[in-house]
Amino acid sequence: MKTLVIYAHPAEDSLNAEILSRLSACIAPENLRVRKISAEDFDPLINLQRYRMFNNIPENRAGVEDHVADVEWAEALIFVYPTWWYGLPAILKGWLERVLIPGVAMKIDAAGKPAGPLLSHIRLFGAIATYGAPWWWTRFVGDPGRRTLMRGVRWLCFTSCRTFWIAHYDIHRRSQKSIGAGLDRMEAKLRRLLRTGSKETRS
């Protein structure tokens, strides 16, 4: 399965980097594309010019053509990111805003309003997120990053798209042994999911 991974952490020695390494090991190299948007210095800003052309298809692809091409190539879309201020890092939120645009991720009607999804080629959708907070506090604040991806972006994909969510909570207070065990469970889950195609929805 052709898999696009959007990686949104700036540090190559982070837990997220280890997550990306293990995820990449589960996918054949010829079927994997990774966009390290922080390392690429991806510009997440919707400035006035970009705002004005947002609904202008295909002009709205200007500056993100390669990212759009990766999205259109993919059959699986996976996000790896740290949770900052309870949600998506700004660069990842900006990636969604600049790349999942009308004509790419959704149709629009004559009035410029959303008129249906366009990512029907995405048959597997998921995310792996790290959290400084424990799971109970994350649930208390509503886990907005998860809701954005697993409700909002997921809706744009194939109707029967397989989904998964893997969370690593309370990472600053956990021991290296505990974190390592969590990574082992994550890798086993990913290998099982990618091998069998079974639906997984909980971490």
pLDDT tens digits, one per residue of 62-98: 999 999 999 999 999 999 999 999 999 999 999 999 9
Confidence (pLDDT) at 115: 84
Nearest-10 Cα torsion for 174, 178, 14, 150: -90
Cβ-proximal residues to 48 (8 Å cutoff; 6+ apart), any chain: none
Burial class of residue 51, CB neighbours in 10 A (0-12, 13-18, 19+): exposed
Confidence (pLDDT) at 193: 87
pLDDT tens digits along 131-141: 999 999 999 99
Class of the domain covering 3-196: alpha beta
Which contacts qualify for 134-142: CB closer than 8 Å, 24 or more apart?
134/169, 134/170, 135/167, 135/169, 135/170, 138/83, 138/86, 138/167, 138/169, 141/86, 142/86
Produce one character per residue of 76-112: b if its CB has 16 or more CB atoms within 10 Å, e if not.
bbbbbbbbbebbbbebbbbbbebbbbbbbbbebeeee
Query: Do 36 and 63 touch, CB atoms closer than 8 A?
Result: no
User: Where in the chain are the domains?
Assistant: 3-196
Strand residues in the chain grouped as ranges (E):
3-7, 32-36, 76-82, 106-108, 114-117, 124-130, 162-168
In terms of DSSP bridges, do strands 106-108 and 114-117 run parallel, antiparallel, or are they unpaired? antiparallel
- Residues of the chain predicted below pLDDT 50: 197-203
Confidence (pLDDT) at 203: 39
In terms of DSSP bridges, do strands 32-36 and 3-7 run parallel, antiparallel, or are they unpaired? parallel
Confidence (pLDDT) at 136: 97
∠ Cα 115 121 127 (to 5°): 95
**pTM (2 d.p.):** 0.93
Confidence (pLDDT) at 198: 43
